[in-house]
């Protein structure tokens, strides 16, 4: 890959319009990019709807070199896991087909900047931030693998990495994913999940209308500090105060992710503390069964505990869903992305 050329997948409509000196040519180029199948390994000499002279400017400034797919594995439930490689970095994505639509879980970093004790990705350490072009390329590649009746319509930044430690590129990628004429995802079809990086959350709420998911995973700062060491910097009270303020000022709905760990954060008291913490927050709680990996000291909660926890939260009036674990046997479930192949 050459250094001086930009990835076509990472350009905004405005940038493409400037290069092609016309918005309608830029729209034609985007239409081509998101329809062409297979995606060519390099930019062709001409594309439909754009004069070869104008297109030559794009070819001079840009390239189209998608990440290489190093591994592609389908699990029994139809979940598809990819391992990609680009410029020396490896990262993973997971395509999750469902009734009528598919969801893609993308990585924002190769490895991760955070050190959550219950997550397999953390063991890899940090590789590098992914560029917007690499974030969008994950969508472009997976789009072609979505089943016919379940087109790829949702993107969640819940793969490897902490998106709010790479927020410039994540925001740029979201802008591109929302662009007309393609992929043109609605803001509500994109979710960014954070381990709780407060300054990033503040900026995201100002600059994006997409969903924010907060991986809470604990109900006391002591508990959370053990699981997610960065929390010393941004305690629970501060994280939730931001969501509370935002809930008072807008209609935003927040997803609160909570990984249930046996005997650690799954008691009735935890459930009650969670309800108290979420007072005034327009929240939906997603309970995530812990997915194990070798060398992990935590175990998933027993199912009667999961149900008791869910009932307490639900009875307080907060919607509380139990995430089903998909792709577990191919290491594609939450927190299992650790480049096993
Ligand atoms: N860094 C971001 C996004 C990646 S993690 C974040 O923390 O939100 C995506 C989700 O997977 C988070 O909710 C996280 O708590 C959860 N997770 C991590 N490891 C897990 C594991 N082993 N089992 C189940 N969920 C896990």
pLDDT digits 0-9 by tens, 28-59: 999 999 999 999 999 999 999 999 999 999 99
Alpha helix (H) residue ranges in 161-252:
167-177, 198-207, 221-227, 236-249
Confidence of residue 341 (pLDDT cuts 50, 70, 90): very low
- At 329 the pLDDT is 73
Structure tokens at 313: 């939260």
Q: How many helices (H) and strands (E) does the chain have?
A: 10, 14
Q: Is 328 in the pocket of ligand 1 (CB under 6 A)?
A: no
Tens of pLDDT, residues 58-104 = 999 999 999 999 999 999 999 999 999 999 999 999 999 999 999 99
Protein residue closest via CA to atom 4 of ligand 1: 158
- CA 90 – CA 109 distance, rounded (Å): 9
Confidence of residue 1 (pLDDT cuts 50, 70, 90): very low
Q: Is 261 in the pocket of ligand 1 (CB under 6 A)?
A: no
Confidence of residue 3 (pLDDT cuts 50, 70, 90): low
Write down the residue that tokens 């985007």 correspond to: 30
Tens of pLDDT, residues 257-278 = 999 999 999 999 999 999 999 9
Active site residues: 92, 334
Structure tokens at 191: 């979710």
Q: Express as a percent the part of the chain with pLDDT over 90.
A: 91
Residue 134 pLDDT > 60: yes
Please, which residues have CB within 8 angstroms of residue 74's CB and are 6 or more apart in sequence?
80, 330
Residues composing the chain: 341
Confidence of residue 141 (pLDDT cuts 50, 70, 90): very high
What are the phi and psi torsion angles at 327 (to 5°)? 75, 15
Q: Is 90 in the pocket of ligand 1 (CB under 6 A)?
A: no
Residue 237 pLDDT > 90: yes
Mutate to test the pocket of ligand 1, among 103, 105, 217, 259 (most ligand atoms within 8 A of CB): 259
- CA 187 – CA 192 distance, rounded (Å): 11
Residue 236 three-state SS: helix
71 membership: H or E segment, kind and range: strand 68-74
| Residue 283, beta-bridge partner list | 254
- CA 176 – CA 173 distance, rounded (Å): 5
């Amino acid at each position: 890959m050459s250094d001086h050329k930009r990835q076509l997948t990472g350009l905004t409509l405005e940038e493409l319009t400037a290069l092609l000196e016309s918005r309608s040519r830029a729209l034609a180029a985007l239409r081509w990019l998101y329809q062409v199948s297979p995606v060519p390994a390099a930019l062709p000499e001409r594309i439909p709807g754009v004069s070869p002279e104008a297109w030559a400017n794009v070819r001079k400034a840009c390239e189209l070199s998608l990440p290489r797919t190093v591994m592609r594995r389908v699990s029994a439930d139809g979940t598809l896991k990819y391992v990609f490689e680009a410029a020396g970095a490896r990262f993973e994505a997971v395509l999750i087909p469902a009734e009528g639509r598919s969801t893609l879980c993308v990585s924002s970093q190769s490895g991760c900047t955070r050190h959550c004790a219950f997550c397999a990705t953390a063991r890899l350490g940090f590789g590098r931030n992914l560029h917007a072009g690499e974030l969008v390329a994950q969508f472009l590649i997976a789009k072609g693998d979505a089943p016919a009746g379940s087109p790829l319509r949702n993107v969640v930044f819940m793969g490897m990495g902490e998106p709010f430690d790479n927020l410039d590129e994540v925001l740029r990628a979201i802008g591109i994913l929302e662009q007309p004429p393609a992929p043109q995802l609605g803001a509500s079809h994109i979710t960014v999940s954070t381990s709780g990086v407060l300054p990033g959350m503040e900026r995201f709420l100002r600059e994006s209308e997409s969903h924010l998911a907060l991986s809470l995973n604990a109900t006391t700062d002591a508990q959370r500090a053990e699981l997610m060491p960065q929390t010393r910097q941004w305690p629970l009270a501060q994280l939730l105060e931001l969501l509370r303020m935002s809930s008072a000022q807008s209609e935003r709905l927040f997803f609160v992710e909570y990984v249930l760990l046996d005997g650690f954060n799954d008691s009735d008291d935890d459930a009650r503390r969670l309800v108290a913490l979420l007072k005034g927050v327009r929240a939906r709680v997603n309970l995530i069964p812990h997915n194990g990996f070798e060398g992990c000291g935590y175990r998933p909660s027993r199912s009667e505990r999961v149900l008791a926890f869910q009932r307490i939260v639900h009875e307080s009036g907060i919607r509380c869903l139990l995430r089903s674990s998909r792709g577990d046997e191919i290491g594609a479930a939450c927190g299992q992305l650790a480049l096993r192949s």
